[in-house]
Amino acid sequence: MINDAGLVWAVVAVTFAAMVAGRFIVRRFRTHWRPIPAYQILPTLAADAVESAKRVHFSLGSSAIGETSTLAALVSAEVVYRLAERLAISRQLPLITLSHPVTLPLAQDTLRRAYLYRRTLDYYRSSASAWYPPGTAFAVGAASLSADIDADSNILLGRFGPELAFLGESALRHNQALIAHSDLLEGQAIAFAQAGEVLLGEELYAGPAYLGGTALERGSVLAQDVLRWLVILGIVLAALQTI
């Protein structure tokens, strides 16, 4: 049961209104986006992997459908889909590792849809998505699998704790590119230190918009900015009241 139900509905309504307004703005006007280096590099990494006939390792960590990381899992899967679409012309299937079994069908379906879109469903195998038990076992298992397939790059999106350090260390030791994000602070700190490019906090949720998204997805980035400014305004007003 939600305690502040009115507030929740107000936030949903404001976000929806901002998103629709954002959609209108991006359709009618030329908008400039803050460059996020990770999203500039990701398409290049996908192209490199196709050219060198190597595989790409995606990991969704412990992002889970049905838990607080549901949306991180969905958005991460959408980013994976945008890149898998580019990789699906190659016989070298991307690898997706994860540690929450409910996310397994999402990962498998993400790859299947990408290969279906490219009409290369013959290349697709459901075993390209691999589950490992959560925690260090996941990190060690996923890192060794990524090393064994000689992945070109490791793209870690979603929810990771300190176990991200093992994945990162293994990627760096095997000269694999590393792009990382976590919605947990511990994982985010490690990602900042280890990754070649890092996605910070909410930047993950802007992924679909940055990777050739629809007008509504781009509008939702504007909505995120509107909400951010509302929160900043709220914090400043609350601080002023206490003076």
The only residue of 10, 47, 121, 185 in contact with another protein, by rule CB under 8 A: 185
Is there binding between residue 25 and another protein (CB under 8 A)? no
User: Rounded CA gap, 147 and 150, in Å?
Assistant: 5
CA 178 to chain centre: 13
Is there binding between residue 154 and another protein (CB under 8 A)? no
**What character string, x for contact with another protein (CB under 8 A) and - otherwise, covers 68-107?**
---xx-xx-xx--x------------------xxx-xxx-
Q: Tokens standing for 122?
A: 């013959």
The only residue of 148, 212, 233, 236 in contact with another protein, by rule CB under 8 A: 148
User: Rounded CA gap, 220 and 198, in Å?
Assistant: 21
**Size of residue set near another protein by CB under 8 A:** 78
Is there binding between residue 228 and another protein (CB under 8 A)? yes
The only residue of 90, 110, 154, 176 in contact with another protein, by rule CB under 8 A: 110
Is there binding between residue 115 and another protein (CB under 8 A)? no
Candidates 32-40, 44-52, 55-63, 191-199: pick the segment binding another protein (CB under 8 A). 191-199
Is there binding between residue 36 and another protein (CB under 8 A)? no
Minimum CB separation from another protein for residue 109, in Å?
8
